[in-house]
Amino acid sequence: MEKVDVLSGIQPTGLAHIGNYLGALRNWVSLQESKRCFYCVVDLHALTTLPKGKELRRSSLEMAKVLMACGVDPERSALFLQSAVPGHTDLAWAFQCMTPMGDLSRMTQFKDKSADQPKNINAGLFTYPVLQAADILIYRAGEVPVGEDQVQHLELAREIARRFNRTYRNLFPEPQPCLTKAPRILGLDGTKKMSKSQNNHIPLLATPPQLQKLVGKAVTDPQRVRRDDPGRPEICNVFSLHGHFSRPEEVQTVETDCRSAALGCVDCKRRLAENMAQSLEPIRTKAEALEQEPERLLDALSDGAKRAGAVAKHTMDKVRNATGLA
Ligand code: TRP
Ligand code: SF4
């Protein structure tokens, strides 16, 4: 029976930012080297936020474009929109019928999201992790690269797999979370995790002047009030970002010169923004090229959906059989 090595999904809500890149997307790209990977933009999950008009379609295509620009290679990996493969929702329904309400009400992401949108605590938000389990299990994926915040959902997916196997037939392997040593990237406020909703993010496709402006706003060592106060790089988020975007020798100099006050925050940030612009340049260039040829993206997505659809159909046939639907 067909299975894929790796499956992951990303929500199309909001622009991809450098936290997504360093924390997840970079790893998606390198996994393709040795594994059969399926990557989807989870537009059905995003429907729980009630996006308006054509906003969802637009942001889903934008996210797919960013994934390709980052190096997800549609020749190697299947890249697709979740809603283009109907099996996800079919399988999710079967799983919903076996999942106790109690399990779902324990999910911390459900609690967080309900707090984010108190006027729209819909049933989709509640069953969201079941759809996520279906995303993974429909491909019988072995590994799921996710961040720490998704471990609880992965555990639920494993529980659902076990329950299905026990109740009906042994169809699903238990997926393993593959936690990267992904750095936790803080936002410009220097305290909260970088995220679009916190508005403390640096978009991956920011232009060099935008990068200068955004990095310019970043919070630094609060004790460094005057230019000649010595700084403490260990508590400064600008310094940790240097660690991701600047050459090791430069990181060293920044550290020393910050402590001795030879380097001021303004210059330190300017250098960081320059280095960021330089390392993100290949991604921006690819994204621009893709914008010129929208067909390339659409073709990649339809090819990805075909490949994913074939595996999904195969699994769903077995599920129909096992559950007595067929
Ligand atoms: N819930 C995940 C998140 O918020 C996104 C997601 C949906 C996902 N389906 C998935 C991640 C399947 C991994 C596998 O980040
Ligand atoms: Fe942070 Fe750089 Fe200022 Fe030091 S010089 S406090 S590392 S911004």
Taking the CA of residue 255 as reference, the ligand 2 atom at the shortest distance is 7
Indicate whether residue 268 lines ligand 2 (CB < 6 A): yes
Pocket test for ligand 2, best of 217, 229, 269 (most atoms within 8 A of CB): 269
- % of the chain exceeding 70 in pLDDT: 99
The mean per-residue pLDDT over the stretch 65-73 comes to: 97
Taking the CA of residue 153 as reference, the ligand 1 atom at the shortest distance is 1
- Helix or strand (DSSP H, E) at 94: helix 87-96
Task: Report d(CA 147, CA 8) in Å as an integer.
Answer: 11
Question: In 3D, which of 146, 198, 178 has the Cα closest to residue 25?
Answer: 146
Q: Are 196 and 57 in contact (CB under 8 A)?
A: no
pLDDT in tens, 82-128: 999 999 999 999 999 999 999 999 999 999 989 988 999 999 999 99
Taking the CA of residue 264 as reference, the ligand 2 atom at the shortest distance is 5
> How confident is the model at residue 3, as a pLDDT?
80
Task: Report d(CA 108, CA 110) in Å as an integer.
Answer: 5
Residue 186: strand pairing partners: 193
Q: Which of 3, 35, 196, 313 is catalytic?
A: 196
The mean per-residue pLDDT over the stretch 174-181 comes to: 87
What structural domains and CATH numbers belong to the chain? 6-185+293-323 (3.40.50.620), 208-286 (1.10.240.10)
Q: Are 30 and 216 in contact (CB under 8 A)?
A: no
The mean per-residue pLDDT over the stretch 261-289 comes to: 97
> How confident is the model at residue 184, as a pLDDT?
82
Which residue ranges have their beta carbon within 6 Å of ligand 1? 7-9, 11, 42, 45, 132, 135-136, 144, 146, 150, 153
Question: In 3D, which of 8, 179, 14 has the Cα closest to residue 78?
Answer: 8
Which residues are CB-neighbours of 241 under 8 A, at least 6 positions away?
185, 215, 218, 272, 276
Confidence band for 1, pLDDT divided at 50, 70 and 90: low
Indicate whether residue 263 lines ligand 2 (CB < 6 A): yes
Average pLDDT, the chain: 95
pLDDT in tens, 216-226: 999 999 999 89
Question: In 3D, which of 139, 135, 107, 106 has the Cα closest to residue 46?
Answer: 135
193 belongs to the catalytic site: yes
